[in-house]
Chain A
Amino acid sequence: MGSPLLLRRLASAYDRELSLLHQLLDDSVQKVAEMTSSAVKHPNGPAMSALARTELLGFAQASLAVRRSRLRLKSCGDEWVRVGLKGSEVRPRLRMRPPTAELVEASLFDEATLRGPAGSVVLMWNWDPGRGCLRSLALTRVESMLRWGIQCSILEEIPISASAAGLAEDPFHGSIPLGASNDDDDLSDLVGVWDEDDDIQSERESSDARDEEDRNDDEGDSTVGER
């Protein structure tokens, strides 16, 4: 199921929701990375996936931003997370990117293309064990979800960014609003100093100066008043 056009439309129509998902997922991954930081060895893929999944569902349940958005996250089986996007029939699954994932070069007139777009829509995430945070999240169309661990061909991939600016504009995304820091506003425009020169200059002096400027304009530019 799915088509290149559908995938792009989906990414564009739900960019806010997908960015929000990126943020939530990053938070969950970071939390799990912190939890497991004292372990001798980094958790392997599926273990990380399972822990992050639990955290993600917890974060989503408590998130005001999720409550206010069209994003809905539900557990699906023991390992999967189903990403619901209100108004869309496509409910992509969220899954950790398998090591076998490989982008397949699209070729014209191959059998699959002639039969029509195929595959499944999956949101794939990957983490950066060195930095302990989310490395990537992408909306992908994979050829098949069978034997996922052994072979995973990606037909199309649209990376999702955190798009902090977009989220920051929304005051309801549930995190600290902009301007909450003590340094965000320096009040520089709030208090003015009376300019002594301006104040001392009397109204008459000001009028004289203005009159002088006007006269200079008239005298200096011969084209003034021609038309």
Chain B
Amino acid sequence: MPATRKIVMTTKATPLWGNAEVEVFGERLRDARLIQRLKSGDIAKRAGVSQSWYSKLEHAMSTVLESDRAQGLAHALDFPVGFLSSPPVTPVQRGSLLFRAKKSLAKSEEDQLVCWARLVGDLIHSAEPKLRLPFMRIPRIPSGMPPAEAARATREALGIGNDEPVPHLIRTLERGGVYVATIDFDVDLHARNHDAFSTWIGPLLDIPLIGVRATESWERTRMSVAHELGHLAMHHSRREGDLEREAYEFAAEFLLPLHVLKQEWPESTTLSSLMPLKRLYGMSLASLVEHGYRNGLMSGGHRTSMYKQMSNRRDHATGERLRVREPGWRDREVERPKLVATVAEKAFGGTASVEGLTTKIFSWRADYVSKLLEGQVTDWARSLTLASEGDQRENLAQVVQLRAVGTRRGRA
């Protein structure tokens, strides 16, 4: 708990008449604001309160407010009051996230990702009492162990053979107790400057979570997930050193161990001669080139030449440069997770709508829950999100109809 945080001791009072009181939690207020990347000043203005007072609310553990006030805040944040008044259960903090991200990742984007991690954490927390969840099998790698060795230890812990490919990385990790959330960050949801993040969720911060931005590239998705796995295994408590380089080395070794790479490396290395390795081990050509170069299988000049070829040549089907869309981009499906949806389905399977599901998970806003489920590939998740989309379309149709009526009246 930061020292600056002001803790307000509160008691709930429910008068027999007049305005009831609601206990609002600072962390929930912040989550509701930050997941939308809004500024506290804007919320204060919308709610008709001073910014300093609103800021105090966010920094307090909880505050008892009159029901009208709480409703006003909920309206300004566009989140249900039920969410604001739910005690926070997922203590993920900013700074605990590790990324495969551009350096331009803004603080607000990081805050937003923390909120997504909390949403998944809340869902797992709500479901946990009803379920036997998978056993976590990610080893805690002692600091100082080289990334390649760490990758080998992790492969072993996950039951992957010495030289076996990993056919479906996300599914392998889910079987090892890692939760994965694929989120399609569109224009409204921002957070476009990252590929993936990882953190630990649950009240004891002992459940690994990987968040991946939804892309159309299976190569990128696999590398991002493997990279985050490296962070989870090696950087649980360590933050010093070149963590990103270590995670890249880990990812390459995890997907394609060096002894296999050496054994299979073609005598004359060309883009086409690397294709079988790409298909079998599920690594991009660019990553294979890097892996080979880093391990002395190809010279610097050769590596540059390969990159130049990829930059100059174009894919016949799409016309895009190979650097943007590598050959073999259609060879595999883009990996998508299903453990989060499976857990939700098993715990709250009777729920027929996303709105119904939100009531079980601390009243998170339905569109965020829907977004989370859209990234999961189970029939249940699909049916729920399709139904939700149908409702939205219906609502939209009604809005359009109302507008049309209004227009006619205006003309008359």
Contacts and interface: CB of A to CB of B under 8 A. Distances in A.
Nearest to A196: B130
B339 A190 contact: yes
A108 B346 CA distance: 71
Contacts of B168: 179-182, 184-185
A142 B91 CA distance: 77
Contacts of A186: 338, 378
A185 to B, nearest CB: 5
A171 B280 contact: yes
A184 B171 CA distance: 9
Nearest to B174: A187
A184 B332 CA distance: 13
A60 B347 CA distance: 51
B275 interface: yes
B295 interface: no
B131 interface: yes
Nearest to A61: B273
B134 interface: yes
Contacts of B377: 182-183
A175 B280 contact: yes
A177 to B, nearest CB: 4
A178 interface: yes
B276 A65 contact: yes
A75 interface: no
A191 B171 contact: no
Contacts of B338: 182, 186-187
B303 to A, nearest CB: 20
A67 B264 contact: yes
A190 B134 contact: yes
A182 B276 CA distance: 21
Contacts of A172: 280
A186 B273 CA distance: 34
A62 B171 contact: no
Interface in B260-277: 264, 266, 272-273, 275-277
Interface range on chain A: under 10, 10 to 19, 20 to 34, or 35 or more?
20 to 34
Interface string B318-347: 000000000000011101101100110011
B164 interface: yes
Contact of A191 (B279, B336, B346): B346
A174 interface: yes
A193 B280 contact: no
Contact of B131 (A179, A181, A193): A193
Contact of B335 (A67, A182, A194): A182
A59 B170 CA distance: 30
A177 B342 contact: no
B282 interface: yes
A206 to B, nearest CB: 19
A193 B175 CA distance: 16
Contacts of A179: 167-168, 171
B339 A187 contact: yes
A184 B175 CA distance: 13
Contacts of A67: 264, 266, 276
Contact of A171 (B165, B339, B342): B165
B164 A190 contact: no
Given A182-B168, A187-B171, A194 B272 contact: no
B336 A177 contact: no
A177 B171 CA distance: 14
B45 to A, nearest CB: 45
B132 interface: yes
Given A62-B275, A67-B264, A184-B171, A191 B280 contact: no
B130 A194 contact: yes
Contacts of B332: 176, 180
Given A64-B264, A179-B168, A180-B167, A194 B276 contact: no
B333 A180 contact: yes
B167 A192 contact: no
Given A67-B264, A191-B346, A177 B174 contact: no
Given A177-B165, A182-B333, A191-B131, A63 B276 contact: yes
Given A171-B165, A184-B171, A176 B131 contact: no
A174 B342 contact: no
B189 interface: no
A165 B171 CA distance: 23
Contacts of A177: 165, 167, 280
Contacts of B282: 180
B285 to A, nearest CB: 12
Contacts of B106: none
Nearest to B334: A182
13 contacts: A62-B273, A64-B280, A172-B280, A173-B280, A174-B276, A179-B168, A180-B333, A182-B168, A182-B336, A182-B377, A190-B134, A194-B131, A194-B132
Given A180-B168, A192-B346, 16 more contacts: A62-B273, A65-B276, A173-B280, A174-B279, A176-B331, A176-B332, A177-B167, A177-B280, A178-B167, A182-B171, A182-B377, A184-B168, A187-B338, A190-B174, A191-B133, A191-B342
Q: Which 5 A-B pairs have the closest CB atoms?
A: A64-B276, A179-B167, A192-B132, A174-B276, A177-B167
